[in-house]
Amino acid sequence: MYDTIIQGGLVADGGGGTPFPADVALSGGKIAALGRDLGPARTVISAAGRVVAPGFIDIHRHADGAVFRPDFGRLELAQGLTTIVSGNCGLSAAPIDGPYRQAVLDYLVPITGEMGREVPTGSMGAYLAACEHMPLHTGMLVGAGTVRAAVAGYGCTHMDASQTRAVQEKLERALSEGALGVSLGLGYAPECFYTTEELAAVLEVLSDRDIPVTVHMREEGDGVCEALEEMLDIAGRCRVPVHISHLKAMGRRNWEEKIPRCIQLMEQARQAGLDVTCDVYPYTAGSTQLIHILPPDFLAGGTEAITRRLADPEQRAILTERIRSGGDFDNIAGMVGWENILCSTFSQPENRAYQGMSIQDIAEAQGKDPFSCAYDLLVSEHCAVTMIDFITAESDIRRILSLPYSAVISDSTYPVQGRRHPRVCGTCARILEKYVGEGTLELGRAVAAMTAVPAGALRLRGKGRVAVGMDGDLTVFDPSAVRENGTYAHPDRLASGMDWVLVAGVPAIARGQFTGARSGGALRRGG
């Protein structure tokens, strides 16, 4: 007798094809059978008029600290997620130790929120051990930026041989303790200081080991094609699988031009034998730290050093001229305009009235030019400001979504105050409601982009397919009833439309209601 049979639904199995009628039987947290007339079960779930799909997988969230918060899991499960991966963009909550520990934690705050003592940051092993018995499965990449900062701090622009070895040793240890791969944040300090040769030297330790390397590239605007060429070159030299995080082309002047070229470069690399995949979030606005309107060299030394520079009139004048002239860095303000950069998180009381407003509008309200306004806000908040920036073209998003090797991700950040991006609560629901609903994506392809494709990119065994022997992570839903609900003005509204969400065979949502089950576990490389 099976534990559970999900009966009478159309199965979208994660392979990308047309959904087909079949029943799904579960035993011991695994898929035990697939077909018709499977026999008796202790529990029968009716899926008549519904789709049965693998649990959705988001391999790019910044929930490093959020997984330990009391309400963790609700906003993820409500959109069908059963597995998430954190530690992206070179920024992971572990391993953080040594003399620069507090500086690293401070740098992470705008992305992950403050991490209390309940977050074990000292080692990857300790972090993953604390992630058992969660509402959904949780995995971690080891952030190479976090590791480098823990070894050499934010003031070191070029590491010596001993520091390079120390970084490699820490990466090796984190991988041995279960990190799913290595993430890079070449747009962030301190990894923005790497030359191509220095980065290749660090990654050489991963050669021929089938360890995924995910990358927030050095540039995502005017120089995105060159940044992609750099990573494809490194992937070829170091013989590592590379996954391009949140592929985009920022700035109207780059829309519909750079992404087709990037796709051409990836296709050529794949044809040449490189293991190259990518992902995309289905929103034209991104979300990150406001300090990333600044040139990379301005980020040396960490948040306190950045704050001192921004308070210096001479440095401000130099910085303003660089932003106005553009060209020598990924100049977000220059590419998209101050009116398209919204401040989403402030901690100081005097600034909270400006939450959700653009830099342009805040500047007008304060009687300042937008440059001075942005610098003053960063100084008063010691750089702990997040932004929502409208940067990309819907047509480019659709191009990337259509690729069979592209995954859907949210790039969610979890500040403890302020306004979140609607993608935190709504990404998977948006794919079903908007892109499947309007006919941009076939349902089978959409499901694959949220299941088998991300599982394959990060080598998540047992995940992403409805097949015998796979993990019993499943969703049951009517695609026409799924709703995103959140907006930029009200981003915290939960998605709706998931009738059942099962994690390791246990209902976390049953008949549309949360059950409180905690059957999720920590995902480890090779496990």
Q: pLDDT tens across 222-248, in order?
A: 999 999 999 999 999 999 999 999 999
Measured over the CA atoms of residue 246, residue 424, residue 479 and residue 436, the dihedral's sign is: negative
Could you tell me how far CA 244 lies from the centroid of its own chain? 11
User: Which residues, 6+ apart, have CB-to-CB distance to 376 below 8 Å?
Assistant: 366, 368
pTM: 0.96
CA distance readout (Å), 362 to 121, 351, 389, 500: 37, 10, 15, 44
Q: Are 396 and 406 in contact (CB under 8 A)?
A: no
Q: What is the pLDDT of residue 83?
A: 98
Hey, CA dihedral for 209, 123, 56, 260, is it positive or negative?
negative
Q: Exposed, middle or buried by CB within 10 Å (0-12, 13-18, 19+), for 176? A: exposed
CB atoms under 10 Å from CB of 513, counted, come to 9
The mean pLDDT value of the chain amounts to: 96
Q: What type of residue is 205?
A: V
Average pLDDT of span 330-356: 94
Is residue 116 classed exposed, middle or buried when 0-12, 13-18 and 19+ CB atoms within 10 A define those classes? exposed
Q: What distances in angstroms separate CA 429 from CA 54, 63, 231, one per listed residue? A: 14, 19, 31
Query: What three-state secondary structure class fits 5?
Result: strand
Please determine, for residue 306, whether its predicted confidence score (pLDDT) is greater than 80: yes
How is residue 120 written in tokens? 């074990």
Mean pLDDT of 470-493: 97
Residue 418 pLDDT? 81
> What percent of the chain has pLDDT above 90?
92
pLDDT for 326 equals 77
Please write down the HEC assignment for all residues of 393-406: CHHHHHHHHCCCCE
Over residues 272-276, mean pLDDT: 98
Determine the pLDDT at residue 445: 98
Say how far apart CA 64 and CA 86 lie, in whole Å. 6
pLDDT value at position 105? 93
CB 133 within 8 A of CB 80: no
Q: Quick one: pLDDT at residue 415?
A: 82
Is there a cis peptide before residue 120, judged by omega within 30 degrees of 0?
Answer: no
Name the band, by pLDDT with cuts 50, 70 and 90, for residue 131.
Answer: very high
35 pLDDT exceeds 80?
yes
pLDDT of residue 417: 78
- Determine the length of the chain: 527
pLDDT band at 117 (very low <50, low <70, confident <90, very high): confident
In sequence order, what are the residues at sequence separation of 6 or more whose Cβ sits closer than 8 angstroms to the Cβ of residue 461?
526, 527
Q: What's at 109, amino acid-wise?
A: V
What average pLDDT score do residues 503-525 get? 98
With 80 as the cut, is the pLDDT of residue 460 above it?
Answer: yes
Angstrom CA distances, 157 to 149, 165, 188, 217, 301, stand at: 10, 16, 12, 18, 9
**Amino acid 111: pLDDT:** 84
Give the mean model confidence (pLDDT) for residues 293-298.
90
Query: Going by C-beta distance under 8 Å and a sequence separation of 6 or more, which residues neighbour residue 209?
Result: 240
The per-residue pLDDT for 495 is 98
Segment 81-101 mean pLDDT: 97
Judged against a pLDDT cut of 80, whether residue 128 lies above it is answered with: yes
3-state secondary structure of 438: coil
Q: Is it the case that residue 297 has pLDDT exceeding 90?
A: no
pLDDT bin (cut points 50, 70, 90) of residue 171 is very high
What is residue 95's predicted lDDT score, i.e. its pLDDT? 97
